[in-house]
C-alpha cells in the first residue's frame, strides 16, 4: 500500500493539526490537504459515483480531480489545491457528493 514519508531535512515548517475522518492528523505548514493525506497514509480518499471504486491522488496539480474530498462540510474540494489549516475537518468523499450543507 502506498505510503509517503517526510524527508529528514528539518527545515523550519510549523506543525499543523487537522482532522481526517474525525481523527487528529499532523501536517506541516505548506502542505496541501492532498499531500498531508499522503503523508498521513490515508490511502484511497474517495470512491467514484459511477462504480464506487477507490481512488487516490493522481496528478496533485489540479487537473485530474481524483483527490476530491469533503472539507469542513463542503464536498467536491480538490485536496491538492487547498492549503491545510489548523483545525480543518477533512472527510473522504463517497460516491456522488450531495448538495453542500449551508455552512453559514
Partner 1 sequence: MTTVRDLVIVGAGAAGLSAAAEARELGLDALVLDEQPEPGGQVYRSVARVAERRPADLAFLGADYARGAELVAASTGGERRQGATVWQIGPAGRDGSREVIWSEAGAARRVLARTVLVASGAMERPVPVPGWTLPGVTTVGALQVALKQSAIYPAGRVVIAGSGPLPLLLAEQLRAARVPVAAILDTTPSGRTAKALPLLPAAALGAPDTLRKGLALLKARDRSGVPVWRHVREVRAEAGSDGALATVRFRTASGDEETVEADLLALHEGVVPNPQLTRLVAAEHRWHAAQRCFHPVTDPWGETTAAGVYVAGDGGGTLGARAAEASGRLAVLAAASRLERLTEAARDFRADPWQSRLRGERALRRLLDVMYPAPDWIAAPADEAVVCRCEEVTAGELRAVAGHAAGPNQAKAYLRCGMGPCQGRLCGLTVTEMIARARGTTPAETGYYRIRAPIKPVTLDEIASLDSEDAA
Which residues, 3 to 22, sit near partner 1 by CB under 8 A? 3-7, 9-13
Q: How far is the CB of 26 from partner 1 (least distance, A)?
A: 12
Q: What is the dihedral angle through the alpha carbons of 47, 44, 1, 61, rounded to the nearest 10 degrees? A: 120
Residues 6+ apart with CB under 8 A from 21: 90, 91, 92
Q: For residue 36, give the C-alpha cell.
A: 498531508
Q: How far is the CB of 23 from partner 1 (least distance, A)?
A: 19
Which residues, 38 to 67, sit near partner 1 by CB under 8 A? 38-39, 43-44, 48, 50-51, 53-66
Which residues, 67 to 96, sit near partner 1 by CB under 8 A? 68, 76, 80-83
* Strand-pair partners of 83: 32
One-letter-per-residue 3-state SS of 44-64: CCEECCCCCCEECCCCCCCCC
Name which position in 20, 25, 35, 71 contacts partner 1 (CB under 8 A): 35
Q: Which residues bind partner 1 (CB under 8 A)?
A: 1-7, 9-13, 28, 30-32, 35-36, 38-39, 43-44, 48, 50-51, 53-66, 68, 76, 80-83, 100
Amino acid at each position: 500500500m502506498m505510503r509517503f514519508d517526510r524527508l529528514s531535512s528539518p527545515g523550519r515548517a510549523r506543525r499543523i493539526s487537522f482532522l481526517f475522518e474525525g481523527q487528529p492528523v499532523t501536517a506541516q505548514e505548506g502542505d496541501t490537504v492532498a499531500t498531508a493525506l499522503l503523508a498521513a497514509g490515508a490511502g484511497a480518499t474517495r470512491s467514484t459515483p459511477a462504480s464506487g471504486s477507490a481512488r487516490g491522488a493522481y496528478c496533485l496539480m489540479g487537473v485530474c480531480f481524483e483527490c476530491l474530498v469533503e472539507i469542513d462540510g463542503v464536498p467536491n474540494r480538490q485536496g491538492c489545491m487547498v492549503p491545510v489549516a489548523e483545525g480543518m475537518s477533512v472527510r473522504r468523499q463517497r460516491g456522488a457528493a450531495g448538495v453542500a450543507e449551508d455552512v453559514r
